[in-house]
């Protein structure tokens, strides 16, 4: 049986923390800024991973929670982020009563849900009346890794049909789940930056790409990674820079 995304994240948590988190930090800061958090609010970071967005939500006497289905990620979060209550949970079936939080935040987690409208409906359930949602996802397609690796993926028979959302399709998901005042803003300048080949190869081991190549032999993996390396632009400092545009969504639970 193929492993769930959370199982793959759990196994690769240390590599994720080293390679992805530095690129996601500015995105997490923007998600938290857009959440417009106030003093003493109850905040939850769903799909918290290593907890770096939850860490940014602290302060102002707020009560901050973080949940994730990957115990390996939570182990890092608990070690690195004190004052946050972390719990292992499926974000599609949260163990909190209705209206438990003033703000729900989620950095690059939603797309791992199989029924995204149902997931957004569950996040709305735990939001208080007038509670806010602030989240990010990668997208749209033109500014994601799929764009620079299309030829490589084609040669390796990797299915890229599960495309990233557009601003419009993301907004529709939230509206269908009952959120109101839905706004989506696109930033095409964000990127995954990997300082050298070692970091690039570690990045290749993690995340959603793992699902498409789960049956690959080590030789096939190496060949794919070599071709991806050759296709990746480098910045002025020589670091690999993979386009990874961001869609920021904010919404409100009607009071």
Ligand X SMILES: C[S@@+](CC[C@H](N)C(=O)[O-])C[C@H]1O[C@@H](n2cnc3c(N)ncnc32)[C@H](O)[C@@H]1O
Q: Give the footprint of ligand X on this chain (CB under 6 A).
A: 5-6, 9, 21, 24, 28, 47-50, 52-53, 68-70, 73, 90-92, 107-109, 112
Q: How far apart are CA 237 and CA 47, in angstroms?
A: 32
Which lies closer to ligand X via its Cβ, residue 5 or residue 139? 5
Which lies closer to ligand X via its Cβ, residue 73 or residue 192? 73
Burial (Cβ within 10 Å: 0-12, 13-18, ≥19) of residue 27: buried
CB of 190 to ligand X, least distance (A): 12
CB of 70 to ligand X, least distance (A): 3
Which lies closer to ligand X via its Cβ, residue 88 or residue 195? 88
**Burial state string for 165-188 with b = 16 or more CB within 10 A and e = fewer than 16:** bbbeebbebbeebebeebebebee
Return all residues near 112 (Cβ < 8 A) that are at least 6 apart.
5, 6, 47, 208
Closest CB to ligand X belongs to which residue? 49
CB of 56 to ligand X, least distance (A): 10
CB of 13 to ligand X, least distance (A): 8
DSSP structure class, residue 143 = G
CB of 254 to ligand X, least distance (A): 26
Which lies closer to ligand X via its Cβ, residue 6 or residue 242? 6
Which lies closer to ligand X via its Cβ, residue 77 or residue 184? 77
Q: DSSP string covering 191-237, please? A: EEEE-SHHHHHHHHTSSTHHHHTTT--HHHHHHHHHHHHHH--B-TT
Q: Which of helix, strand or coil describes residue 244?
A: coil
């Amino acid at each position: 049986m193929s492993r769930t995304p959370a199982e793959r994240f759990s196994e690769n948590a240390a590599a994720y923390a080293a390679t992805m988190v530095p690129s996601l930090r500015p995105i997490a800061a923007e998600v938290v800024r857009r959440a417009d958090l106030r003093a003493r609010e109850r905040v939850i970071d769903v799909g918290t991973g290593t907890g770096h967005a939850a860490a940014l939500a602290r302060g102002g006497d707020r009560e901050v929670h973080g949940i994730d289905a990957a115990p390996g990620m939570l182990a890092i979060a608990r070690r690195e982020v004190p004052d946050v209550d972390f719990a292992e949970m499926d974000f599609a079936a949260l163990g909190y009563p209705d209206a438990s939080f003033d703000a729900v935040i989620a950095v690059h987690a939603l797309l791992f849900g199989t029924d995204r409208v149902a997931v957004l409906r569950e996040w709305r359930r735990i939001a208080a009346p007038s509670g806010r949602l602030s989240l990010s996802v990668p997208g749209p397609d033109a500014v994601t890794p799929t764009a620079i690796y299309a030829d490589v993926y084609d040669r390796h028979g990797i299915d890229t049909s599960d495309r990233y959302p557009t601003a419009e399709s993301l907004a529709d998901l939230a509206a269908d789940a009952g959120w109101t005042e839905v706004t989506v803003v696109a930033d095409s300048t964000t990127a995954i930056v990997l300082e050298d080949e070692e970091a690039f190869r570690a990045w290749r081991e993690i995340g959603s790409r793992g699902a498409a190549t789960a049956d690959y032999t080590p030789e096939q993996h190496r060949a794919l990674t070599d071709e991806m390396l050759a296709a990746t632009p480098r910045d002025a400092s020589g670091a690999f820079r993979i386009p990874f545009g961001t869609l920021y969504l904010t919404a409100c639970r009607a009071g």
